[in-house]
Chains A and B, each alone.
Chain A
Amino acid sequence: MNPEPNPQAGDSVHFTVDGIDVSAAPGQSILEACDVAGIYIPRLCYHPDLPPGGNCRVCTCRVNGRNVAACLTPAAHGMRVENDTTQITDDRRSVIEMLFVEGEHPCPYCVASGDCELQALGYRLGLSAPTQPYQWPARKIDATHPDITLDHGRCILCSRCIRASRLEDGKTVFGFDGRGITMTLNVDAKGGLGDTQMAAIDKAAQVCPVACIVINRDSYRVPNGRRRFDAAPIGSDIEARRTS
């Protein structure tokens, strides 16, 4: 039996995901360690270039019998993580369904179709059509910016743009407004996005997982049918790293 690793001393820790051994560098989250190991944990609000937000809860795994968000939970030695189980997949599909009915997500005519992480997760998790009632929120389109369209109906409140604008762009263009089911994305100017410091080259404009923040005159550079998730299901790139 090997001695307990000491993460403070830089030792890697070992844990299992659905019975598969995974090692993690000190400080890595469960999700990061699994990405390296080629085990895909479905996620939506997580972005590799940003600190985790914990908003969507899609990456929820069962760890030692408790449900936790894999993006926020540090890998610890000896953890027993359940990721790919029927119940977890059902719960994740249900969460994706909630996002579909909360906002406006008309995949067939949406500019992001094929390149949308929400749509791709719907396919990957086996969501055919929502059974819950559509909420039809009265959200607006903000077209005040010359280079960016902000379509609030598509927003899934993942906070990626909020984090990116504050931490990567140093601008704090975005924030939340309100609470609960009436919560929306807010921008740092009464007059709309056009009155903020936002630029199309900002990180905040690149990280949107859906078609809420859309760069104008750029949408059909890659035609439908040849986009990221048209070729392979979401997560395939991570799973391709798996060696054993």
Chain B
Amino acid sequence: MTAQETTVLGFVKDAGSDRSRLLDIVEAVQGRYGFVSDDAVQAIARGLAIHQVEVEDMLSFYAFFDRQPRGRFRIRLSRTPVSIMKGALDVARAFEQALAIRMGDTTQDSAFTLQWTSDIGMADQEPAALVNGMVLTGLVPGDVAAIIGALRQRDQGHEPAPGKFQNSHRNAIPKREVRSSLMQAGPLLMLNPAQETALETALCLTPDAVIAQITEAKLRGRGGAGFPTGMKWRLTRKSAGEDHIVACNADEGEPGTFKDRMLLTEYPDAIFDGMTIAGYALGARHGLMYLRGEYAYLWQRLQDVLKQRRAAGRLGANICGKAGFDFDIRIQLGAGAYICGEESSMIESLEGKRGAPRDRPPFPTERGYLQQPTAVDNVETYLCAARIMACGADWFKSFGTAESSGTKLMSVSGDCTRPGVYEVPFGITVNELLDLAGGEDAAYVQVSGPSGQSVAPKDFGRRIAYEDLSTGGSTMIFGPQRDVLDVALQFAGFFVTESCGWCTPCRVGTTLLQQGMQKIVDGRATRADIRATEALAETVTRMSRCGLGQSAPNPILTTMRNFPELYEARLRPELFVPRVSLEEALADAVRVQGREPVTETV
């Protein structure tokens, strides 16, 4: 047996030789070797007694796993409309020049790989980058030399590349910090001694009474869909299963959102309180938190919190002295896949598979993780649940609107003077939020990320609430200097990268929509082209399997609706313009021959 094989089989054993822990095993291999070789795949397959095609099926799905060796330092620059408005292209150029490679390439000494990645949850401090799990923020081209210098020093010193487990290693890498960005705390986030005892208060009630109180508070899912949490918990509780599962969706991948990052950093105990309360209410013994791979830098801190909670009797057996209430939480780290924020994809990923969504029914509340009844809720939802237990349903309902009780955390970024997290009561208008964040000059606001909608000034009086503008919190502000259609094109590209590929309309449709949008942005589209792109967008919305595909056309459809004049302005008057531009097709020949083709005039 080779040394690598022994090591890999060790990782398999560490995961209890459990097929459902395949993601952890592959993460360990990737972390140790920097890629997952064919030999490693075979060793994993042997160790788990599964086929290598099953291992490849999973690992080829995630952006953070490699089949080929890449640079020892992986520099992943966040590419989003916000990062680009803040200068990410200039930072990228500076990295390219300093390393003498192009984006996507690896240096000859195998020290650096440079690439783009989807939004990493730092929209309030872009341009940002991940370097082997470290987060660098607020980058300017002038930082690049010092960053590369510091990384080279580590490299020559033969220090291990900093992975998710070496967070404590303080060093001189510039811009390695993540600001909290909590700009406005409301009742949910304001310190209140009663909140410390949320779990104890809940354990004095019966599980049914806990659910009744959540229902009474009219708490709805904070991820954006707004499903009533009390009903979800009740459905899960009454579904038969050997176990019930409490799952926390900490995979906030919607571009422009970062409020869960702030919560996981500053309020982890309250979130775990909420999960534990749900565990009690559901009769669950197991809690799972799915932490997006981009937030690996939070891993150790969260593990420490879990450890403290176990020591304090707030996790484990007989929690808080409540005989028979056993509950513990495992954190599953993701590996770069936006789709895993969709609850059924997240469950597949938690089971160590590719993050392809499931068809419903059955709903996760009936058959979720490992076929057990599962309640999947957003980070913020668990925080709300804990607060409701501590302060009561009436307290919670005293904020917000009739249909949307409580407050909402908004992640505000883009063209504004005060980006960050704002806790606001539901019912606040877009205008009021813009005033808070210093975004009064907004030409439009992308509410709820690319899967949400582009809101034009005429609609700035609309309210943030489930009954009006429903949102997970992502709020990207675009000033008058921004190109609306170009932003829509960038979002179209995001969905191409993040489509899981399982179903035809989303897999192929997202690419065709991007191409259609490109033609429009290039000013080569006729009215018929625009109509065709719109019809295609509607087909993708109607035919796709899950929320990703169903909402992927939103940036195109909502800008068509709200900014028709911008589409008109780029129209070509001809009835037909070919997809291939003759000038572009001939460009190489023109360059080689050194002369322009002669245009015949009749």
Contact = CB atoms under 8 A, between A and B. Distances in A.
A157 interface: yes
A98 B501 contact: no
Contacts of A54: 359, 502-503, 545
B511 A135 contact: yes
A179 B499 contact: yes
B536 A91 contact: no
A190 B60 contact: no
Contact of B504 (A87, A90, A98): A98
B512 A133 contact: yes
A30 interface: no
Contacts of B545: 54, 57, 69
A190 B53 CA distance: 9
Given A132-B512, A173-B53, A178-B61, A157 B501 contact: yes
Interface string A155-192: 01100000000000000111111111111001111100
Contacts of B52: 188-189
B56 A69 contact: no
A188 B51 contact: yes
A25 interface: no
Interface string B317-355: 000000000000000000001000000000000000010
Contacts of A186: 53, 56-57, 60
Given A173-B53, A190-B38, A95 B359 contact: no
A193 to B, nearest CB: 11
A121 to B, nearest CB: 12
Given A179-B61, A179-B337, A181-B510, A98 B505 contact: yes
A169 B371 CA distance: 24
A72 interface: yes
Contacts of B505: 57, 94-95, 98
Contacts of A188: 51-53
Chain A, interface size: which category? 35 or more
Given A57-B543, A179-B337, A133 B508 contact: no
A74 interface: yes
B499 A175 contact: no
At the interface, is chain B mostly helix, strand, loop or mixed? helix
A98 B501 CA distance: 13
Interface residues of B, number: 40
- Residue in A73, A94, A101, A179 with the greatest tally of chain B CB atoms within 10 Å: A179
B508 A181 contact: yes
A109 to B, nearest CB: 23
A98 B505 CA distance: 7
Contacts, number: 122
A173 B500 CA distance: 21
A183 B507 CA distance: 9
B215 interface: no
B503 A98 contact: no
Contacts of A99: 504, 508
A57 B503 contact: yes
A47 to B, nearest CB: 16
Interface string B529-541: 0001001100100
A74 B503 contact: no
Nearest to A188: B53
A181 B54 contact: no
B157 interface: no
B283 interface: no
B407 interface: no
Contacts of B507: 102, 157, 180-181, 183
B561 interface: no
A206 interface: no
Nearest to A174: B53
B336 to A, nearest CB: 10
9 contacts: A57-B503, A91-B543, A94-B505, A94-B535, A94-B539, A133-B579, A157-B504, A157-B507, A188-B53
Interface of A: 54-58, 60, 67, 69, 72-74, 87, 90-91, 94-95, 98-99, 101-102, 131-133, 135, 156-157, 172-183, 186-190
Given A172-B53, A181-B507, A190-B38, 6 more contacts: A98-B509, A131-B532, A175-B54, A179-B501, A181-B499, A188-B53
